[in-house]
Amino acid sequence: MRLTDILTTDQIILPLSAADRDGAIKELIDSLAKKNTISDSDQAFKSVLEREKIMTTGVGNGIAIPHCKHSSCPNFSVVMGIHPKGIPFESVDKKDVKIVFLLVGPENNPGLHIKLLSRISRLMSNEELRQSILKSKDADSVWELIQQEEDYYFDLD
């Protein structure tokens, strides 16, 4: 499974309108709820925030990957938000976040959850890709960039 197998263009929010971490997470969760990919958006939101209490998912370089495993998320889903100006996210490098990937999935497949997190991290470690994403004008362009970068890697399965 590739990231672009579960991240669709309608799950790329450009621009993200939230002004802070919790607002961004809520906006991304609401996007998944509109697609009926989660059964209880309030529980999913609470679960992601509980994960944030353990350790920030603001991994640095303007990237955050909030995530959770929860029964309200029967299938793996990813939604991406891009905030060109950046938002405070309590990141490890203390810098604002401009690209946020929200990953949710079931509790019964931790292996795939970790592989998807790893795939996102690996893709976002590419400075050129991050800059190209931030310059993109629409979701289709962002998706194409991610797909091209993924062509360099093997499928997760």
For residue 116, is it within any domain? yes
Pair 11, 31: CB distance under 8 Å: yes
For residue 156, is it within any domain? no
For residue 92, is it within any domain? yes
For residue 157, is it within any domain? no
**Dmax (CA) of the chain:** 37
- 2-18, pLDDT tens digit by residue? 899 999 999 999 999 99
Q: How far apart are CA 26 and CA 30, in angstroms?
A: 6
- 86-139, pLDDT tens digit by residue? 999 999 999 999 999 999 999 999 899 999 999 999 999 999 999 999 999 999
For residue 91, is it within any domain? yes
Q: What is the CATH number of the domain that holds 19?
A: 3.40.930.10
Question: CB count, 10 Å around CB of 86?
Answer: 14
Give the range of the structural domain holding residue 50, as residue numbers without chain letter.
3-150
Whole-structure pTM value: 0.93
Instruction: State the Cα angle at 151 between 142 and 34, rounded to 5°.
Output: 40
For residue 62, is it within any domain? yes
Q: How far apart are CA 15 and CA 55, in angstroms?
A: 26
- Which residue matches tokens 């629409």? 138
Q: What's the domain count of the chain?
A: 1
